[in-house]
Amino acid sequence: MKKCLFAIALVGLFAIQVPAKAQTTTNERIYILSSVWKDVCKNFAFPERFKEVDPDSLYKEYIPKVLHAESEQHFSNLMAEFLSSFQDGHTKFNDNNIKRYKVPVVFSWVKDQLFVTNIPTALKQEIPLGSQIVEVEGEPLMDYLQKQVYPIVPASNENWRKRKALDFFLTGDKDTRYNCSIKTPNGEMKEVSLTTGIIGYEDISDWLIQRDNRICYVKNLPGDILYMKLTTFAKPQSVKEEFEKYLSQFISSKGVIFDIRGNRGGTDESWHNLIQYIADSDVNIQDGLMLTGRVSNTAIELYEKNVPQLADYYNGVAMQPIQLDPFKSKIPDSLRIKSPIILLVDGFTASAAEDFAVTMKNLKLATIVGTSTAGVVSSPKENDHGHGYWSQVSFCRFSNPDGSDIIYTGVLPDTNIEYTLNDALGKTDTALDTAINIIHIHQAK
């Protein structure tokens, strides 16, 4: 068992990270800033953000900031802020030199309140499960997040910014102590302190609530319903093997539930195999999403200056469709899942997992149950800047077939679930219960 020191790493924006080891010159920093700015101007797939941000003005604003960066850590934070300004979950600055230590506490949002939803057994008296975080270093929680954490969080909407912030919140140098105010489940206000000391939650072996963190698994539910949990799409072979191991049961079941809550994505390859056992052979699976990218052509930009219909070309913000080869199932009809399918999603369903959800929804292959997803729907281009620094800029935009965007709202469920504290604590599972009930209704028809 690892020793747990009682502290909460609640510090200012420049104190929540371990100092970077890179040593860039002033010229190198300006070059990195310029490269990132150029990439955004040329490739960023959400040009309407330009009207809100104005990349040229932002670039000019950040030149003196970068020139006077007090440390490597300060420079890294400035670059994170710069790209976060464009408000897209895949457009961000990454620093491999930073090693973030977490506090040994798991937090969950229930509406706009943040609760302690898992702790090591050593902390169960100090911080009761279900306690609410009220203040951080004397500041109300939301004020603290707005000032110290949100500026470096890449997110296209407020719901994802709030959830993504938990990746940065309470992280920092090892053994850093800070205080916060909590409200216990019985209403008592209490001052507590904890210490950062773990890299990942797997570093603690004695969590009060034991969770199943397998990449994927299948289990039988009452009523001949087959349930498959998919925690990540980063391991396509694992998903394929687990699914095909139970293929005969999927085909014969009276209902199927795919649970991608908390799945932050990976690669679309992970679900491409699954959907071929669901979609009819005459369905083009690519029709579930529309892809567009920027049009960059200097000649058109110049010569169409006085043509109102082509103003977007002149201003460099025109978009064009990206046509992909048809993707159709080649699975025999006898091996296709024909029972009702439910897809469980939540606010941490992101990226490739959202691609799966929106494709299933738009092709009417499943009923989506849960809460709105993250809105991290795009394809990012990676650029290595050396010194352990690299950036991502979304160059391909994913939209619904009718052209409506997904990043601002996430994938909207067909049946919305009100997430409760008991759900977060694992005492209930409202979404799963609702999915089972929907399947029972289908069976009764």
Residues 6 or more apart from 180 whose CB is under 8 A from it? Answer: 8, 10, 133, 134, 135, 136, 137, 191, 192, 193
Rounded CA-CA distance 74/65 in Å is 10
Alpha helices in 137-228 (DSSP H): 141-144, 158-164
Using CA atoms, how far residue 283 sits from 185, 280, 366, in Å, is 51, 6, 14
d(CA 184, CA 181): 10
**Model pTM score:** 0.88
- According to the model, what pLDDT value does residue 107 have? 95
Q: Supply the angle between the helices 72-84 and 55-67 in degrees, to the nearest 10.
A: 170
* DSSP structure string for 229-274: EE--BS-HHHHHHHHHHTHHHHHH-SEEEEE-TT---B-THHHHHH
DSSP string covering 332-399, please?
-GGGS--S-EEEEE-TT--THHHHHHHHHHHTT-SEEEES------EEEEEEEEETTEEEEEEEEEEE
Neighbours of 368 (CB within 10 A): 22
Residues of the chain with pLDDT below 70 are 1-22, 296-316
In this prediction, residue 341 carries a pLDDT of 97
Sheet holding 216-221, edge to edge: 216-221, 225-230, 255-259, 341-345, 367-370, 415-416
Measure the CA–CA gap between 345 and 163, rounded to whole angstroms: 14
State residue 9's pLDDT score: 29
- Burial class of residue 88, CB neighbours in 10 A (0-12, 13-18, 19+): buried
Q: In the prediction, which pLDDT does 384 show?
A: 95
Of 366, 348, 79, 46, the residue nearest 357 (C-alpha): 366
Distance of CA 117 to the CA centre of its chain: 19
User: Using CA atoms, how far apart are residues 300 and 60, in angstroms rounded to an integer?
Assistant: 27
Neighbours of 45 (CB within 10 A): 25
Q: Give φ, ψ of 226 to 5 degrees.
A: -105, 130
For residue 319, the tally of other CB atoms under 10 A from its CB is 16
CA angle 338, 329, 369 (to 5 degrees): 50
**pLDDT at residue 51 in the model:** 82
pLDDT the model gives residue 315: 63
pLDDT of residue 8: 30
User: Residue 403 and residue 164: Cα distance in Å, rounded?
Assistant: 26
Q: What angle do CA 411, 415, 419 make, to 5 degrees?
A: 85
pLDDT for res 203? 80
230, 258 Cβ separation under 8 angstroms: yes
